[in-house]
Amino acid sequence: MHSTPTALYGNTQDHIAGVLEVLRQDPKLCQHFEMETYTWEVMPPDLKKRDVVDQLVAEYEWTLAQLAKTGLGLAE
Which pLDDT tens digits describe the chain residue by residue (76 residues)? 567 777 777 888 889 889 999 999 998 998 888 877 767 777 777 777 888 888 889 888 988 999 999 988 765 5
* CB-neighbour burial class of residue 68 (10 A; exposed 0-12, middle 13-18, buried 19+): exposed
* Number of residues written out for the chain: 76
What pLDDT is recorded for position 38?
Answer: 67
What pLDDT is recorded for position 8?
Answer: 75
Answer yes or no: pTM beyond 0.85: no
Q: Between vectors from CA 56 to CA 10 and to CA 16, what angle results, nearest 5°?
A: 45
